[in-house]
Chains A and B, each alone.
Chain A
Amino acid sequence: MYKGFALLNGIFIAIMIALNSMLSMETDAFVALLIIHGIGLITIGIIILFRRSKLISLKGIPFYLLLAGAIGVINVFLNNTAFIAIGAALTIGLGLYGQLIASVIIDHFGLLGMKKIPLNKKKLIGFTIMAFGILIMIMG
């Protein structure tokens, strides 16, 4: 069942990117960002109220951790822009590629407080295969 959820998660992510991008086509880039985050805020607000969970104090939490939301805004903006120009499959494919490369770099150098995990050189073969797949997507 959880494997089904994982697959569903992927499907939802693609749908979300499409909806967000099409919204920014119908309105404009910045208004869309406002609407998307406003609706998201309302959604999570309703869920939290529904669960009646206690909110934990923010004392002692480093400020930069609270900025993750701003990075999300940039992400939505970049995704929307790319989607309009190159379509869903390429935006998603390239984004996934970027994620994988970022993860191995972060692991290799132990950035952002993560444990240092040196890169297994054989993975470069995998990354080359993926790049080839992306190239075929671009050209096909």
Chain B
Amino acid sequence: MFYFLAFITGIFVIITIILNGNLSNRLGYHQTTLINFISGLLFAALLYLLFDWGNAVTFEGIPIYLYFGGAFGVVIVILSSVVVTKISAVYTTVLVFVGQLFTGILIDYLRFNTLEWGDIVGGMIIIGGVCFNLYCDQVNMKQKAEESMKPAKE
């Protein structure tokens, strides 16, 4: 069940990327991010009031760095908008994937102190599958480019 939850975050991520792409065409990346976090905060407040109101939580002993997740979110959006215009989609996809996946493996190692070989091998196979699909896209684009050039020659 948790596997499924993780899987559907992917669908939501893509929807968010498309909606934000649309919005930032009109407003620019920074204002889009601002609106995202405003509506996000409002929605989070709504959820809190609906489901968690009155729940006691202690903030003692929480390491400070745990509070920075939100800041990382902003940095990621800004970095993405910079990177997307400067390098090809292929490189973006592979590099972001590799960064995510292997940092994830590293995080699991740091938290549980065991290096799972299934993670590393599985991770490499996943990246292999991604590269295979990207390669299919490249071949497809080349074929289409060749086809569109033929009539001009005749």
- Is A bound to B? yes
How far is it, in angstroms, between the C-alpha of A74 and the C-alpha of B117 when the chains are bound?
A: 31
Q: How far is the CA of A88 from the CA of B70 in the complex (A)?
A: 18
Most central of A90, A103, A122 by chain B CB within 10 Å: A90
**B105 near A88: Cβ-Cβ < 8 Å:** yes
Interface of chain A residues 83 through 100 with chain B (CB within 8 A): 85-100
Q: Which residues of B (62-102) have their CB < 8 Å from a CB of A? A: 62, 65-76, 78-80, 82-83, 86-87, 91-92, 95-101
Chain B interface, >50% SS class: helix
Contact A28 B6 (CB under 8 A): no
Q: Are B68 and A2 interface neighbours, CB within 8 A?
A: no
A5 to B108, CA, bound (A): 23
B8 contacts A by Cβ under 8 Å:
yes
Contact of B125 among A17, A69, A73, A136 (CB under 8 A): A136
Q: Distance (Å) between the CB of A11 and the closest chain B CB?
A: 4
B133 touches A127 (CB 8 A): yes
B113 → chain A closest CB, angstroms? 13
Q: Which positions 1-55 of chain B face chain A at CB distance < 8 Å?
A: 2-3, 5-16, 18-20, 22-23, 26-28, 30-31, 33-45, 47-48, 51-52, 55
Q: Which of A10, A56, A123 contacts B99 (CB 8 A)?
A: A10
Interface size class of B (residues with CB under 8 A): 35 or more
Question: B70 and A35: CB pair below 8 A?
Answer: yes
Contact A37 B44 (CB under 8 A): yes
Say whether B5 contacts A82, CB under 8 Å: yes
**Chain B 120-135 interface mask (CB, 8 Å, partner A; 1/0):** 0111111111101100
By a CB distance below 8 angstroms, the chain A residues around B140 are 120
Known interface pairs A11-B100, A86-B3, A94-B6; A129-B125 also in contact (CB < 8 Å):
yes
Residue among A42, A55, A88, A131 with max Cβ neighbours from chain B (10 Å): A88
Inter-subunit contact B129/A127 (CB<8 Å): yes
What residues of chain A lie closer than 8 Å to B126, measured between beta carbons? 93, 96-97, 129-130, 133-134, 137
Taking the closest CB of chain B, its distance from the CB of A24, in whole angstroms, is 9
Interface on B for A, CB 8 Å cutoff? 2-3, 5-16, 18-20, 22-23, 26-28, 30-31, 33-45, 47-48, 51-52, 55, 57, 59, 61-62, 65-76, 78-80, 82-83, 86-87, 91-92, 95-101, 103-105, 107-108, 111-112, 116-119, 121-130, 132-133, 136-137, 140
4 smallest beta-carbon distances between A and B, as pairs: A140-B118, A98-B10, A10-B99, A133-B125
> Can you spell out 8 A-B residue pairs with CB atoms less than 8 angstroms apart?
A30-B44, A37-B44, A44-B33, A65-B23, A68-B16, A68-B19, A82-B9, A129-B126
